[in-house]
Amino acid sequence: MKLAPMLAAATLALTVTIPRAAHAFCGFYVAGGDQKMFNDATQVVLMRMGTRTVLSMQNNYKGPPEAFAMVVPVPVVLREGDVKTLTKDVFAHVEQMGAPRLVEYWEQDPCGRGYEYETQRSGAMPPPSAMAQESAKPDGLGVTIEAKFTVGEYNVLILSAKDSTGLETWLRQEKYTIPAGAEPLLRPYVESGMKFFVAKVDPQKVTFVDGRAALSPLRFHYDSEEFALPIRLGLANSSGVQDLIVNILAPNQRYEVSNYKNVTIPTNIEVTAAMKEKFGAFYTALYDRTVEKNPGAVVTEYAWQATTCDPCPGPALSQADFVTLGADVLQGSQAQPTAYQNADFVLTRLHARYGKDMKDDLRFKEAKPIAGGREHLVAGNKLEEGAVPADQNNFQGRYAVRHRWTGPLTCDKPVRGRWGGPPREISARPGFTPTGIKPAVDLAFAPRGEVKLASAVLHDVPEIDLKVGASNVATQVSDPPMPSSGSASGSAVSSTEAKKKSGCGCAASDRNGSIATALLVGAALVLRRRRRE
């Protein structure tokens, strides 16, 4: 049977990826002959506890119906009991919960009987509700099939290799057309003893809907002291910079990277009402500006207890979601079936941009709790800004459209700055629909270059040197690299230049054209491919 696999750079984490040209993937495709394959969106979620990692991955594949496969580096030999298929809805829950959000508030009657705006209040509006080893080939290539089994529609092989040249040759002999230059990227994983999880799809077991294979998400788990994301493998098909969104779920624990600079996304920014219709474009511009000012940094966009939120863009993650994503195996084979119910999972969302000059994978470390992005007043009756140390994780990228009170003031001592839902006279108007809480999902499809930050914000943002009404022109450079391990330096990428690059994070403007994608890795990690126009 002719196979057309996809070699996807994956790791120990969690992500979502989205489209465009077939030459720019975060992971690279391995196809039979000269067939073309496209992966509209890959979402990966990683859970982490102790040395146990559970990686869940969803692929929305569009391509020739003959076959599909992916290859993921893993630290150990996986067995049949370590792998299972999942349903898809949990990935949308994870993305929605960690996404940047837009809220809309109205100033309450300054002379009305409103609540006191408490400095410890965190929300102005209530949230809506075959296992033996066998020689792969007797040709001395050093490739061994360590295990083979079937899970759902997937025929799984676990491979080991003595050298990367032998692995590359073996893949080619098995009719996999791999990108030029793949061997140097495979080499560090082979030399470190990594295995390769190869999941091939049996086309007889797949249903195609509108040309897309309705593939079951895959989940597998393993134990390893190292918590890292081997994203360098995905550079083989990249022609420029790539974006990677990593979502990590862990009991009572936030994560950040240990080998690159960490920054938090600017939050609690008041924006113009026009951003209600351009929120995705606004957020991509804000992220671009943040990495321009912090080249090579990994940006924390969310860190919050996963069973609660304020404001909530949708239902919080449930115990059923945690079990689906791997809580049932987080504590090892001896864990009690209900042990996960006592865990207070934290959802961390990290967003990185990297290029071909990247020297190291993403390596994660535990981080202390932070808070920020809440409707929370601090000294001077001022809304909190940025991220601050906290007892528990309550940080989010939150942006607000605020409507000042324009009605009469009928008292001697009006109290300004109390925010909530729309006044009755506004909400009663025919056809009135409040924005509610709008998450910036599907950022891979968000347009770039449509929003000028200086015109979109209503106050200065010192963190990124942004002044209201000021010119927002950044130096343009090509192929900005991630800095070498441990460095906080690197080359900035301007918003204009970013639009010209392809990668795994932002969007293609033409949804009907050829769609390719990137891939992922993380504890609850979501990788998105981005085409920059």
Per-residue pLDDT tens digits for 210-248: 766 778 889 999 999 998 877 776 665 555 677 778 889
Question: What is the pLDDT, as a whole number, of residue 362?
Answer: 85
Confidence of residue 63 (pLDDT cuts 50, 70, 90): low
**Angle at CA of residue 436, ends 532 and 121, nearest 5°:** 110
SS3 483: coil
Query: How far is 213 from 201, CA to CA, in rounded Å?
Result: 10
Question: What is the pLDDT, as a whole number, of residue 67?
Answer: 55
Give percent of the chain above pLDDT 90. 36
Most confident of 131-145, 295-309, 501-515: 295-309
Cβ atoms within 10 Å, residue 285 = 23
**Residue 196 carries which side chain, given as an amino acid letter?**
F
Average pLDDT over residues 441-447: 78
**Residue 219 carries which side chain, given as an amino acid letter?**
R
Q: Is the dihedral of CA 287, 264, 269, 291 positive or negative?
A: negative
Confidence of residue 35 (pLDDT cuts 50, 70, 90): very low
Question: What is the pLDDT, as a whole number, of residue 91?
Answer: 87
Q: How far is CA 505 from the centre of its chain?
A: 8
Most confident of 56-70, 155-169, 415-429: 155-169
Confidence of residue 259 (pLDDT cuts 50, 70, 90): very high
| 463-510 per-position pLDDT tens digit | 999 999 875 444 333 333 344 444 333 333 333 344 433 333 333 233
Instruction: Using the predicted structure, report yes or no on whether residue 401 has a pLDDT greater than 90.
Output: yes
Average pLDDT over residues 131-140: 46
Instruction: Using the predicted structure, report yes or no on whether residue 289 has a pLDDT greater than 90.
Output: yes
Compute the mean pLDDT over every residue in the chain, rounded to the nearest whole number.
Answer: 74
Tokens, residue 142: 């050093």
What total number of domains does the chain contain? 1
Distances in Å between the Cα of 234 and the Cα atoms of 188, 478, 504, 508 are 13, 19, 10, 19
Question: What is the pLDDT, as a whole number, of residue 268?
Answer: 95
- Give the domain extent around 44: 5-129+131-531
Instruction: Using the predicted structure, report yes or no on whether residue 366 has a pLDDT greater than 70.
Output: yes
Alpha helices in 58-191 (DSSP H): 89-98, 164-173, 182-191
| 165-191 per-position pLDDT tens digit | 888 888 778 766 566 777 888 888 899
SS3 62: strand
Give percent of the chain above pLDDT 70. 68
Instruction: Using the predicted structure, report yes or no on whether residue 298 has a pLDDT greater than 50.
Output: yes
Instruction: Using the predicted structure, report yes or no on whether residue 24 has a pLDDT greater than 80.
Output: no
Residue partners of 159: CB distance under 8 A and separation at least 6: 136, 143, 144, 145, 146, 167, 195, 196, 198
Question: What is the pLDDT, as a whole number, of residue 22?
Answer: 26
Average pLDDT over residues 522-532: 36
